A = this chain, B = another copy of it.
Amino acid sequence: MTPEQIRREVSAWLDANWRIDRPLLEWRNILLEGGWAAPHWPEEWHGRGFTLDQAMVVSEVFREMDVVPAAQVGPRGLASETILACGSDDQKERYLKPILTGEDTWCQLFSEPGSGSDLAGLSTRAEFVDGRWIINGQKVWNTSAHHADFGLLVARTDRDVPKHQGISYFLLDMRQPGVEARPLRQMNGHQSFNEVFMTNAVVSPEDLIGGEGNGWHVAKTTLSFERRGFSRRVRGSSLDGPKQGPIYEEYEEELRIAAEPYTWYPQREGRVDLVLPRARETGAIHDPAVRQQIAKLICLHSGARLAADSAEAGRRAGTTEIIPAGSIGKLAASVIARQASHVHTMISGADALLSGPDSAADGMIAEVLVSVPAISIAGGTDEIQRNIISERVLGMPKGYRADQGPFRDIKRNA
């Protein structure tokens, strides 16, 4: 179908079905039945088999007509794409629809206190006992886990094989007594993540996804969607400006809850946008030492933006690989955030002692100063990004690996 044909068809369908006075769930059920909830998915699973470009046209029409789309924000997107890619028909049957309607929320249970950079070194155990998987262990950095219905869980099912081979991937029901999510406070005072404790938590055999011992492969699928931004859609999903109508209220609440863990993310990136206004406001713009640092920051920021645009063009043309370009962008973001924090400190001087609403830029400068350290850690540390760049982009030789052979023989944290 041509973009124009898609436009005509979806517009006609929306004219007939979209109404702002429906309850959100009712509308989404109609949306699913109409086949417009996830047009890039296959026809047998609520979709139309559209390409991503075709699906983009549908999204455009939705935005133009202020139509509430299917639920897709936050870890939901990771769950649905992973299940679609690796799940059994039974799993797709059970899980996909309530994700799209927004009835079920999901979380990701990957990282552990003992395995951060080394995700495949995870030690949460899954043992098959009396026809069920029994899970014991601890996860961490789990956004939304405190209100999620289900979790994407990786756990170790075999300690006698090399570490990547002994991992299995489960769809975990979070609403059971053996699962406890505890909010984790960050140094900037926000609570965006949880620790999740699993004590004899139970998973039925039909919730193993991708096959026993094949969990690392499935996890890489999830991670590739994460890198492509499926978990961050929340930022782009908001409708332009507030809209009047009952369905919008429900939808905005869904977005608000999903966005809540990310409110400090702009501060984590250094708030480059506030640098010139603050420099003008304080007069620091006239300080030649500060000017040098602002110029460096603008240069880095412009360079990263231009290089990302160019990489994105290359990706669309199929000439740029996603992972290295992502690592370069992520490393650039760290450098920029650190420089921004440095510049904000120089600009504020002693006023950088203060925080809260009465302090500079409504407290945002203070939040920058205590949030920037996260950018070089979360989602893969700078060190991991440099490994990726040097090995995958530059082809430099890998170093010695101390984590081969059976998992049980690998040295690890107690």
> A: which residues have CB within 8 A of B?
287-289, 292, 399-400, 402
Contacts and interface: CB of A to CB of B under 8 A. Distances in A.
Q: Closest 9 interchain pairs by CB?
A: A400-B400, A288-B288, A289-B292, A288-B289, A289-B289, A400-B402, A399-B400, A292-B292, A287-B288
A329 B309 CA distance: 45
Nearest to A402: B400
Contacts of A289: 288-289, 292
A172 to B, nearest CB: 37
Contacts of A402: 400
A295 to B, nearest CB: 10
**Interface SS, A side:** loop
A136 B400 CA distance: 33
5 contacts: A287-B288, A288-B289, A399-B399, A399-B400, A400-B400
A373 to B, nearest CB: 22
Given A288-B289, A289-B292, A399-B399, 5 more contacts: A287-B288, A288-B288, A289-B289, A292-B292, A400-B402
A288 to B, nearest CB: 4
A287 B289 CA distance: 10
A289 B399 CA distance: 41
A402 B400 CA distance: 9
A136 to B, nearest CB: 31
Contacts of A287: 288
Contacts of A399: 399-400
A349 to B, nearest CB: 15
A339 to B, nearest CB: 15
Nearest to A288: B288
A399 B402 CA distance: 10
A411 to B, nearest CB: 11
Contacts of A292: 289, 292
A292 B289 CA distance: 7
A400 B288 CA distance: 48
A287 B292 CA distance: 12
A305 B74 CA distance: 55
A288 B402 CA distance: 50
